[in-house]
Every structure is written in C-alpha cells, then in structure tokens.
Amino acid sequence: MTVQDIRSFNRFYTNVIGALDYSRHLYAPYTLTESRVLYELAHTEKVDAADLRTQLNLDAGYLSRILGKFERDGLVERGSSEKDSRRRRITLTARGRSTAELLDERTRETVGTLLTTVPPTDRDRLSEALRTVREILGDGRAAPHPENVLLREPGPGDLGWIVARNGALYAAEFGWNADYEGLVARIVADFAEDHDPHLERVWIAELDGRPVGCVMCVRDEAPGTARLRLLLVEPEARGLGIGNRLVRACIDFARGVGYREMTLWTNDVLKSARSIYQRHGFVLVGEKPHRSFGADLIGQDWKMTLHRTAD
C-alpha cells in the first residue's frame, strides 16, 4: 500500500461520484457539502453549530455561510443552546425536513441504480470491501459487542473461508508456510466429504453478517473420543469472548452426544488458544519438538474428560 494507491483510488471514486450527477441533479439546488449538512441536521437531535462543525470537519466560516443560506431558504432556525447560551442550536423547519427527505429519496434511487450495474455475485465482495475500509480507517462506529456474535452452522463458502483464513492468519502472525494451509485444506475436505452430522460438527462465529471465527469437533481414532480442531478468531474480533464460546460449544456438543473424552493437538506458540483450553478443563498430557510449516515448534497434546466411566 502506497500513497499513490490511495490517491489513485480517490480519483477513481471521485469519478464514480461524478457519474451519479451530484451537482446537476441529485442534490440540486445544493452542493454535496451543503447536502451533507442537511443530512446531519435531519438525523441528529438538538445539534449546535460547534458539534456540526466537528462531525463534518468543516471550517467554521464555511459552515456559517451554509447555515446562513439555509436560513434564508427557510430550511433551518437558529437559537440559543439549552446547555450553553453561548452556543447556537440549529433545527430544521418543516420545509427543511421536507427538503432533506427529498434529497434522501433521490440518493437512494441514484445509488440503487448504481448497484444494478454490480452483478449479484459481486455484491457481497463489494459490501465486505467497504466494511473493511471503514474498519481500518475508522469512522467512529461503536465497538462491537459480544451479544452481536452469532454461532451458527457453516453455509456455502464457509468451509473455504476456514482454509483461507487459517492459511493467511498463521502466515501473518507466526510466519508459517503453505504446508499449514495444505493441512487445514485436507482436514476440511475430509469433513466435507465424509462426516457424521450426529457426532461431528463445525461452528462459524458471525459478527455483523461476516464470519470471524470457527472451530470443529470430529471423531478421534480412539473409541469414545472427540477431537477439537481448527479454533480460530479473527484479530478484529478478539476480546469478545468468541474463542471461549466456540470451545464451550464444542465441549457441550461432544458431551451431549456421548463422547467420554475430548482431545486436541496444538503448538506452544499459540498462547491465547492454550489459555482458553486450560480455562475449560483441558490438561496437557504430552509435548514433542518438531519442525513443521517452516518453523521449529513444540507440539502439544491436550485432553479433558467429558464423562467418567464406572470403575
């Protein structure tokens, strides 16, 4: 990513905006900036000029001229703020609200027309790309909440997502090579081709309509034993307790269908994951140095009892 990349995108997007005919049709007789001010006034209760200037990052003199124009057009009224008499509160008149609604309707129609040019198969990609830009550059949205996280069964494309994100994240965070992605691909392919839905399951953690985590419960070679595999949580979704919820779901499922034990294999560098396993009752039962995925690692076997057998 370079400065030129961003400048190039800015020019491209400016051309897209221009193609929507903002200046001559969409917001006429107002400019784009004037319409932004009108939009904020229509969607914010009891706003004053100082707050509006901060929200829109506008020069005080420029904003004052815009509000003066709105006042002459009968769109707004200005009065003293209830909290501070030195500040000026701005409210829309009935005419101003009607104008804002008209502009909003035009915007919806015009952007809707633009979306008709995007093939249905590309709309999810476009939505994800826009969301990514907002998250990385920041737009003041509220932080995600744990209650907004949904655990669900995998849908179309989710198994491929598990492979892709495991490969990308472990390469970025630990420098592992493509051998690890190949291992994950084989695990996922085996599950997709042949699994017992009564005894084996995959969970996807979803936040704001997109996958942010996963875990898998499959039958182990040892009788009566389940194996936990492929626990993963996206970096931007960490700290919401998603890893704990995924592991708890896996344990509860395994216990519910009658497994006596649950086992897993991990590596010592995965400290956050190991902490979650310990918290839920897994015990380290063995470890062995190995070289895999382009790195020197210490593999670890963990196990927990789900149902105690009678003596």
For residue 76, the model assigns a pLDDT of 86
- What is the SS3 assignment for 30? coil
| Nearest-10 Cα torsion for 258, 261, 266, 270 | 80
pLDDT for res 23: 47
Mean pLDDT per 10-residue run, the chain (311 residues)? Answer: 85 72 59 83 78 83 88 85 70 88 82 85 85 72 76 95 97 96 97 95 92 97 96 93 96 96 97 95 96 96 84 51
Residue in 302, 298, 307 with CA at minimum distance from that of residue 282: 302
C-alpha distances in angstroms, 165 versus 19, 96, 137, 202? 36, 48, 21, 15
Structural domains for the chain: 3-117 (1.10.10.10), 146-305 (3.40.630.30)
Q: How far apart are CA 10 and CA 124, in angstroms?
A: 22
Angle between helices 32-43 and 49-56 (to 10 degrees): 120
pLDDT of amino acid 169 = 96
- Looking only at the bridges linking them, the beta strands covering 261-267 and 225-233 are parallel
Strands 283-292, 295-305: pairing kind: antiparallel
Q: pLDDT tens across 33-70, in order?
A: 888 888 888 887 667 888 888 888 888 888 889 888 98
pLDDT tens track for 103-120: 888 778 877 888 888 898
Q: Please report where in the chains the tokens 């100082």 appear, as a residue.
A: 50
The Cβ of residue 141 has, within 10 Å, a number of other Cβ atoms equal to 9
The alpha-carbon radius of gyration of the chain (Å, integer) is: 27
Q: How far is CA 75 from CA 10, 72, 96, 171, 251, in A?
A: 32, 8, 4, 56, 60
DSSP structural state of residue 308: P
Q: Please tell me the distance from the alpha carbon of residue 130 to that of residue 107, in angstroms, as a whole number.
A: 18
Residue 221: phi and psi, rounded to 5, are -65, -30
The answer to whether the CB of 280 falls within 8 A of the CB of 247 is yes
Q: Please spell the DSSP secondary structure of 219-240, one letter per residue.
A: E-SSTTEEEEEEEEE-GGGTTS
Q: Which pLDDT belongs to residue 81?
A: 65
Phi, psi of 20 (to 5 degrees): -80, 0
